[in-house]
Chains A and B, each alone.
Chain A
Amino acid sequence: MSSLTIFYAILFYLATVVLVGGVAFKIYVYSRTPSPLRIPTMPAPMTQSGMVARMAREVVLFQSLFKSNKWIWIFGWMFHFGLLLVLLRHLRYFTQPVWSWVVLIQPFGRYAAFAMLAGLLGLWARRFLVDRVRYISTPSDHLMLALLVAIGASGSAMSFLVHTDIISLKAFMLGLMTFDWQPLPADPLLLIHLALVALLMIIFPVSKLLHAPGVFFSPTRNQIDDSREARHVAPWAAQLDK
């Protein structure tokens, strides 16, 4: 077993623990924190199913962003749905035999990487071109985009230009999942790609990537317009009724 394989194996275990543990902890914090007053952005749905539909429109279609700014919407949507397809396509490296629907989306998944990259570059360009967005951008905003672009670019390069030893890679991944480590091919592009992905997983729970779990907890979006019909007294506020 090469030290490279051992390093990457440990790196991925660590990254997975940080990602899952970190996000789980944040979700725990969000769900534990009460919402003492109803603050849905009105007009809001009046039923639970209406709320689920609103949330679905937000998460799938980026409804509010669409109302807000068509450029951010198109770039953001390209990026996120490109990323989704790319991620689903990657399931082929973690399943044996590969699920049939994953086989089906394989060609789309490969090209989705371009949509993802185009979206990212569009969003990045706005950080330079739009004075208001330039003003609010921090170094971490740029680095996050750089990281995602580098992941997308190194991945597409392997997919379209210099193919890597995908059979051994898959053996390595499956090995990780069954704790039966297999050698990782020492292809520089692959090593860069994997290292950056691990880095992304590690910073996920301590960065703005928390918008992903956060959106589901956003009180302005997940609350129902029912405050005349129901009381919603938070435990800490209930003391004041005494």
Chain B
Amino acid sequence: MAVSKFEVPELKGYTVIPLVRMDAAAGIKSFPANAPIQEAIGFPGELPENWQEIAIAKMGELLGKYRSLQVFMDACVHCGACTDKCHYYIGTADPKNMPVARQDLMRRVYRRYFTFAGKYFPQLVGAKDLTRDVLDEWYQYYYQCSECRRCSVYCPYGIDTAEITMAGREILDSVGLGQKYTNEILGKVHRIGNNLGLPGPALMDTLSGLEEDVEADTGVAVKFPIDVKGAEVLLITPSADFFSEPHVESLIGYAKVFHAAGISWTLSSMASEAGNFGMFIGSYDQLKKVALRIRQAALELGVKRIVVGECGHAWRVAYSFWNTLIGVGAGGQDEYARMLQKQLDSNYPQPAHICEVTYDLLQRGAIRVDKEANDHRIITFHDSCNVARGSGMGGIPGGQFIIPREIIKSVANHFYDMAPETIREGTYCCGGGGGLLTDDLMELRVKGAQPRMDALQAVVENHGVNFMATICAICKAQFTKVVPYYGFEMGMIGGVHQLVSSAIILDPNK
């Protein structure tokens, strides 16, 4: 199936909420996974005969395991407050992309099989049998949600559609209906150690190439160490940082920061991936399995600190889930957690974001910068959804908004924020998160980026912005691909540590 031609929305410089257009995104569907991909990560390869029974049972299981799902299924009053909050609704006008309608795809089935009203008065409460059509609709629209949680900010009961999307995907996987992109990547991470399927030797090659480049560029021998036992810091970064543009510029930035501050650090070939697509498919089991590689690497290398590179969902997983999943953090009373927590240095937050590290060094004057080096750039900052609404930084509420901005302002002279309703906790997703960063969803990705593009357009016009910094590998990949559709240069997308990299002063004698 070729990707059909579609119309690119016209930018206005502000968000316009469209009128409902039935089935406007009905033609957009990501490729399903084939049997080997599914089976490799423990899901059935195809739809079993008794799929309906399995799916309902799975739903019952999840309702008992996740309070979020149970409460969210019951609590929605159909007030409509969330209906205009999703970038995919704004971009496609398909009413099933309104958060509440996306939830209702599951809520109807929940009512039918799990509530009194739906069992006896299905029409009245809009309850529906789980038919093959309904299942297909789930696949379609649960893979049109980037799990960005914007809707949860605005719902009076905090209903987080991402939780429902995750449950939907988990149920789909349990009956053999997985998504090719996400599940293939999960297979790779187990087999090879990272999402890109980059084997250890290739990785080492890339890193020594980087060392040469940086030395040629700066005259300073900045190292990119890997698998170094006894290093202080283990850096866990998205594998895109190793060879994608502009990601690699940020990797160079991290290396320069560690070099300048004199912190010994290492990457790990076994855990060469910060991303954890287990979250995207809502599978606790996969989440934990993928994260376990990091626990293992940290124990084997004997590091004192774990630092995470620029990656949005990875930082959510690290900040919010790692302690619970694999014991990277503090406060663990059990044997399992203590084993790692004893080893890690409790003077630092565990895990730490690279921005927390850099900000702290800047604050203490432990690294120096030449701000003028970024004078050709007029910068804005895109808050990545998972960082903004799923994590924190610096141990202060809202630190995830403050710290990256403060870093940018310390290393550059020209910074302008986008419209207030499009940043911080109200930020719009880039349009490619949550397992949607695949070419078969190009139309959705372009349309879903519209609200962000509108906000960008405004600062480009008003302030001449020519650089949009983000701290997420998916945002970077998505934007570089999508901004040209809207007439922007792909080179205007980059990382916060790319800016740090330009400005940091390296001592040639160190």
Contact = CB atoms under 8 A, between A and B. Distances in A.
Given A36-B324, A132-B20, A240-B288, A76 B125 contact: no
A233 B65 CA distance: 12
Interface string A15-49: 00000000000100110011111110111111000
Given A39-B163, A241-B336, A229 B331 contact: yes
Contacts of B434: none
B392 A68 contact: no
B78 A64 contact: no
B20 A131 contact: yes
B71 A218 contact: yes
B82 interface: yes
Interface string A123-157: 10010001111011111110100000000000000
Question: Which 7 pairs of residues, A with B, have the shortest CB-CB distance?
Answer: A214-B75, A220-B158, A68-B154, A133-B80, A132-B83, A138-B126, A230-B331
Contacts of A136: 78, 80, 83, 95, 98, 100-101, 104
Contact of A229 (B78, B115, B330, B398): B330
Given A68-B154, A72-B81, A227-B320, A34 B67 contact: yes
B320 A68 contact: no
A137 B83 CA distance: 12
A65 B75 contact: no
A64 B158 contact: yes
Interface of B: 17, 19-20, 63-68, 70-72, 74-85, 95, 98, 100-101, 104, 115-117, 123-126, 149, 152-160, 163, 284-285, 288, 319-321, 323-324, 327, 329-334, 336-337, 349-351, 388-392, 395, 397-401, 425-426
B153 A67 contact: yes
B159 A218 contact: yes
A90 interface: no
Contacts of B104: 136
A64 B123 contact: no
Given A138-B126, A229-B331, A231-B337, A210 B117 contact: no
Given A35-B67, A136-B104, A241-B334, A218 B124 contact: no
Given A41-B149, A227-B329, A210 B74 contact: yes
Interface in A102-141: 123, 126, 130-133, 135-141
A58 B156 contact: yes
A208 B72 CA distance: 10
Contacts of B425: 41-43
A227 B323 contact: yes
A209 to B, nearest CB: 8
Interface string A58-78: 100010110111001000100
Contacts of A126: 80
A139 B124 contact: yes
Given A29-B70, A64-B158, A126-B80, A46 B321 contact: no
Given A68-B155, A69-B81, A140 B125 contact: yes
A163 interface: no
A88 interface: no
Interface in A171-197: none
Contact of B157 (A140, A211, A229, A234): A211
Contacts of B70: 29-30, 33
A228 B71 contact: no
Interface of A: 26, 29-30, 33-39, 41-46, 58, 62, 64-65, 67-69, 72, 76, 123, 126, 130-133, 135-141, 143, 203, 206-208, 210-211, 214-215, 217-221, 225, 227-234, 236-237, 240-241
A37 B321 contact: yes
Given A67-B153, A219-B67, 20 more contacts: A33-B64, A33-B66, A36-B324, A37-B321, A37-B324, A64-B158, A68-B155, A123-B79, A133-B80, A139-B125, A203-B117, A208-B75, A208-B76, A208-B78, A215-B158, A218-B71, A220-B160, A221-B157, A231-B323, A231-B327
A142 to B, nearest CB: 10
Contacts of B78: 133, 136-138, 141, 208
B75 A39 contact: no
A41 to B, nearest CB: 5
A39 B316 CA distance: 10
A143 B124 contact: yes
A140 B126 contact: yes
A217 B67 contact: yes
B67 A135 contact: no
A132 B102 CA distance: 13
A39 B321 CA distance: 9
Nearest to A62: B156
Contacts of A42: 388-392, 400, 425
B81 A220 contact: no
A210 B78 CA distance: 13
A51 to B, nearest CB: 11
Nearest to B395: A46
Contact of A67 (B77, B154, B334): B154
B472 to A, nearest CB: 15
B218 to A, nearest CB: 34
A64 B116 CA distance: 30
Contact of B74 (A26, A44, A203, A234): A26
Contacts of A218: 68, 71-72, 75, 157-159
B284 A237 contact: yes
10 contacts: A34-B66, A43-B397, A68-B81, A132-B95, A132-B98, A208-B77, A218-B157, A227-B324, A228-B349, A230-B323
A236 B157 contact: no
A231 B66 contact: no
A42 B395 CA distance: 12
B158 A232 contact: no
B187 to A, nearest CB: 20
A131 B323 CA distance: 44
A225 B124 CA distance: 40
B226 to A, nearest CB: 26
A26 to B, nearest CB: 7
A69 B151 CA distance: 12
B71 A214 contact: yes
Contacts of A132: 17, 20, 80, 83-84, 95, 98
